[in-house]
Amino acid sequence: MSEKVTKAGYGERAFGWLCDAIQVLLDRFLVPVAMGCLALVVFFQVVNRFVLHIPASWTEEIGRYLFVWASLLGAVSGIRRAAHLNVEFAQNLVGPKFRYILVIASDILNLLFFVLLAYQGLFWVKTNGFRVLADSMNIPMFYIQVIVPVTAVLMALFTAEHIHGIISKRKGTGGRGC
């Protein structure tokens, strides 16, 4: 085995290890904590509003932001698992060679979208994040909106991993993919 192939193998394993570590962090910590906090805040809101008749305005706002965070983090996890909707109907109408092209083209378009979303999200957060405050909590929107570029980068990373896996599988070198 040549030196060049060996280094590429280590890089691929490191990339896979990084993606696996991010997936574990998402599935075992970030998404459950966001969902748990969301459940607690909504429960607190319901008790305050309907039992104690003392509505707390911040609970609705923080619940909305926690929902966005949990949704986007869950979407990242779905990208890694390839669990999002896919137009398999069109893929099943064509042969395996054209199906391969469709899947790669779809993933490349997704990758471009996620890179654009990360860029625009970062631009938005950087220019407006500290100038705009949340309505009732009076904190900079940076802390709420930063999830968009962060999750877009993670989605791009996992989509690149999927593309690499499909190409590797097609070449017969293993890898994750369809």
For the chain, the structural domain boundaries read: 3-171
Yes or no: say if 167 and 71 are a contact pair by the CB < 8 Å rule.
Answer: no
**9 dihedral zone (left: phi>0; alpha: psi -120 to 50; beta):** alpha
pTM of the model: 0.82
Identify the CA nearest to 78 among candidates 23, 34, 35. Answer: 23
Looking at residue 1, its pLDDT comes to 43
Q: How far apart are CA 155 and CA 163, in angstroms?
A: 12
> So what's the pLDDT on residue 81?
87
pLDDT (tens digit per residue) in 79-108: 988 877 666 777 778 888 888 888 899 899
Q: Average pLDDT, whole number, for the chain? A: 86
Burial of 4 (0-12, 13-18, 19+ CB in 10 A): exposed
- Please tell me the predicted confidence (pLDDT) of residue 103: 87
SS3 177: coil
Phi, psi of 95 (to 5 degrees): -75, 175
* Residue 3, pLDDT score: 47
- Residue 129 in tokens: 């994040």
CB under 8 Å, gap of 24 or more: what pairs does 71-77 form? 72/147, 72/148, 72/151, 73/26, 73/30, 73/31, 73/34, 73/147, 73/151, 74/31, 75/151, 75/155, 76/26, 76/151, 76/154, 76/155, 76/158, 77/23, 77/26, 77/27, 77/31
Under-50 pLDDT residues of the chain? 1-5, 178
